[in-house]
Amino acid sequence: MIELVRIIAGAISNLATLNAAVAATPLDGTDTAPPAVVAVLNEADNNLTFREAESPAAPCIVIATKSAFVGHTTRFTGVQDWEGDVIVAYINVGAIEQKNRRDAMYTLRAVKHVLMNALFQGNGQATARTRNNVALMWITSMQYGMAEQNEFGGVMTGALALTCKTREINP
């Protein structure tokens, strides 16, 4: 769902805000801070092939749909509701897997913080949650903690998976 991807991308695309949150994320023990995010990409606008050999933008955040959106076939009172999954992915290149994994977890924690602030804090975020007659009503569940690095490669990937309920207005 293009609108939803762009709504979420818009909420976290301010790199100054995002990296301030990354820097402010509390670190456990002697962990060191993750590197600043250099790009926020999304499937509606970008070619999402990330090549380790090139890695011009790392670490970066990528927003993409993960599933088809499911909705009722019947419209009610001029709206139609949809539910589906979106991932907010973290991609980085680094030689030490354990450090990469920690960086992924801390950065995604900061992303979650910025995302919730931008979309749901207070009562004034309806505009941020609406685009082209599609509104993000709520995020019904979230998965945090997925991170993996190819056994022999240098790319770490991690993601927040968000199950979102949206409302299409005047479908």
Partner 1 sequence: MAFGDSDIGVFFGDMGVVVSVGNDSTTGLLDSNDLTDAQAFPGAPVRVVDTQTIVTIATGSLPSIVRDGQITVDGTVMRVRDLRQERDGSLMYVYCVADK
152 scored as a contact of partner 1 (CB under 8 A): yes
Gap between the Cα atoms of 45 and 49, Å rounded = 12
Gap between the Cα atoms of 62 and 92, Å rounded = 11
Gap between the Cα atoms of 155 and 133, Å rounded = 37
Beta bridge partners of 167: 81, 135
Q: Name which of residues 87 to 126 contact partner 1 (CB under 8 A).
A: 87, 89, 91, 93-97
Among 23, 24, 31, 67, binds partner 1 (CB under 8 A): 67
Among 23, 24, 48, 137, binds partner 1 (CB under 8 A): 48
**Is 62 or 135 the residue whose CB approaches partner 1 more closely?**
62
Size of the site for partner 1 (CB under 8 A): 31
Tell me the window of 8-16, 19-27, 43-51, 75-83 that interacts with partner 1 (CB under 8 A).
43-51
Gap between the Cα atoms of 72 and 140, Å rounded = 17
CB atoms within 10 A of CB 148: 14
70 scored as a contact of partner 1 (CB under 8 A): no
- The answer to whether 86 and 66 are in contact (CB under 8 A) is yes
150 scored as a contact of partner 1 (CB under 8 A): yes
Shortest approach of partner 1 to residue 138 CB, angstroms? 21
- The answer to whether 70 and 83 are in contact (CB under 8 A) is yes
Give residues in contact with partner 1 (CB under 8 A).
Answer: 43, 48-53, 55, 62, 64-67, 85, 87, 89, 91, 93-97, 148, 150-155, 157, 159
